[in-house]
Amino acid sequence: MIPVFDGHNDLLLRLHEAPDRREAIWLTGEGKGHLDLPRMKAGGFAGGFFAIYIPSPEAHDGLDYMTAMENPPFALPLGDLIGHKAAQPVALSMAGHLRWMERSSQGAFKVCTTAAELRACLAQGVIAGIMHMEGAEAIGPDLDALYLYHDMGLRSLGPVWSRPTVFGHGVPFAFPSSPDTGEGLTPAGKDLIRLCNKLRIMIDLSHMTEKGFWDVAALSDAPLVATHSNAHAITPSSRNLTDRQLAAIRDTGGMVGLNYATSFLRRDGRQSGDMGWEDALAHLDHLLEKLGEDHLGLGSDFDGATIPVGITDVAGQQNLVQAMRDHGYDEPLLRKICHGNWLHLLERTWGA
Ligand code: ZN
């Protein structure tokens, strides 16, 4: 079993939505969702980015997002901007759940803020968590809260989820669609990127528009990273990366994590887990060709997406590793994709 370090999951959202069941959700598992401590151990989950995400209020237009995504083509409208005063209590609650996961795990799970801590966890078999924010709604335009979140352990930030923020614009969920769907960073967004560089907080570009991607590329002194996105050449989703974007990521020593979400993975763009390995392997081959073998990792989107039946949940993630092995990827390459590349990227971004 090769340990897997993972670019993105939404377990904190499950805890936030059912705090009275958090022991069952995290510690014992309740047979739902994709992640819990017992299944992480069973599947060789070595660690990953745990997202603080502010849920959109209920959609009032009657649109059934799930049905639409199961029947491409689709282009789904986004929610309105959420202000930092509404977002901050939610973000604090989720950061608290992450710290509670650490305390309640009796040494099995640790929130890491340095690359040395990550390496130690991997060596000792302790599951490593990185505090990540997916969408910077909880930070006001004065940026003061970013210092506080950094003190709490935040080491990774996406300026936007797909919904707009005061910092920039994200891509709506659309298939087929270019990622060039609208505006990029605002002036406040440029300040946010500069401060992330100064604090050495990793910047995640997964949900940004193509304009926003190039704005960050022009400004940031850190490697470019998309924690959970795939190849647009294979699946032309708004959430996937063009070959030009992949080349820019490679040239900065950055990373892409393969997203298991079926609507970004299947060539037909359908949200349906009923699929084999062919499309996932086509993405991996393409990403390897464009990025090189030092810049590709995994970014499951566990607990945030519909994933292939061949994986089912974190306990089944070694099935994907085996599919890569059967496809001809050798053990040194598998170790890079499964964890080595993420560790090196974080050393380059955070400092060794
Ligand atoms: Zn996401």
Q: Tell me the per-residue pLDDT of 279-303, one tens digit each, with 9 for 90 and over.
A: 999 999 999 999 999 999 999 999 9
Per residue in 58-88, pLDDT (tens digit) is 655 556 888 899 999 999 988 889 999 999 9
Angle between helices 210-219 and 243-251 (to 10 degrees): 20
Q: Which domain holds residue 333?
A: 4-350
27 CA from centroid of ligand 1 (Å): 24
What's the domain count of the chain? 1
Q: H-type helices in the chain, by residue range?
A: 11-17, 22, 37-43, 65-69, 84-104, 115-124, 144-152, 187-199, 210-219, 243-251, 262-265, 278-291, 317-326, 331-335, 341-350
Statement: residue 109 has pLDDT above 60: yes
β-sheet bridge partners, residue 127: 109
Quick one: pLDDT at residue 140? Answer: 96
CATH number of the domain enclosing 304: 3.20.20.140
Query: CA 78, CA 118: separation in Å to the nearest integer?
Result: 35
228 CA from centroid of ligand 1 (Å): 7
207 CA from centroid of ligand 1 (Å): 6
134 CA from centroid of ligand 1 (Å): 7
229 CA from centroid of ligand 1 (Å): 8
313 CA from centroid of ligand 1 (Å): 17
Q: What is the CA radius of gyration of the chain?
A: 18
Quick one: pLDDT at residue 64? Answer: 80
285 CA from centroid of ligand 1 (Å): 22
Per residue in 225-281, pLDDT (tens digit) is 999 999 999 999 999 999 999 999 999 999 999 999 999 999 999 999 999 999 999
Reported as half-sphere exposure (CB side, CA atoms, 13 A), residue 305 has a value of 26
- Name the average pLDDT for the chain: 96
Query: CA 136, CA 189: separation in Å to the nearest integer?
Result: 10
Quick one: pLDDT at residue 16? Answer: 97
> What is the model's pTM?
0.97
157 CA from centroid of ligand 1 (Å): 12
54 CA from centroid of ligand 1 (Å): 11
209 CA from centroid of ligand 1 (Å): 13
Helix (H, G, I), strand (E, B) or coil at 302: strand
226 CA from centroid of ligand 1 (Å): 10
108 CA from centroid of ligand 1 (Å): 26
Quick one: pLDDT at residue 65? Answer: 83
Q: What number is the average pLDDT over the span 136-143?
A: 97
Statement: residue 171 has pLDDT above 60: yes
327 CA from centroid of ligand 1 (Å): 28
9 CA from centroid of ligand 1 (Å): 8
Quick one: pLDDT at residue 77? Answer: 85
11 CA from centroid of ligand 1 (Å): 12
Share of the chain above pLDDT 70, in %: 98
Quick one: pLDDT at residue 61? Answer: 57
Statement: residue 338 has pLDDT above 90: yes
123 CA from centroid of ligand 1 (Å): 29
Q: Which residue has the tokens 């599919």?
A: 323
336 CA from centroid of ligand 1 (Å): 23
Compute the C-alpha angle 178/184/185, nearest 5°. Answer: 155
Statement: residue 132 has pLDDT above 90: yes
32 CA from centroid of ligand 1 (Å): 20
10 CA from centroid of ligand 1 (Å): 8
Phi/psi-derived region of residue 208, left when phi > 0, alpha when psi is between -120 and 50, beta in every other case: beta
Quick one: pLDDT at residue 59? Answer: 58
Query: CA 294, CA 274: separation in Å to the nearest integer?
Result: 30
Q: What number is the average pLDDT over the span 20-47?
A: 97
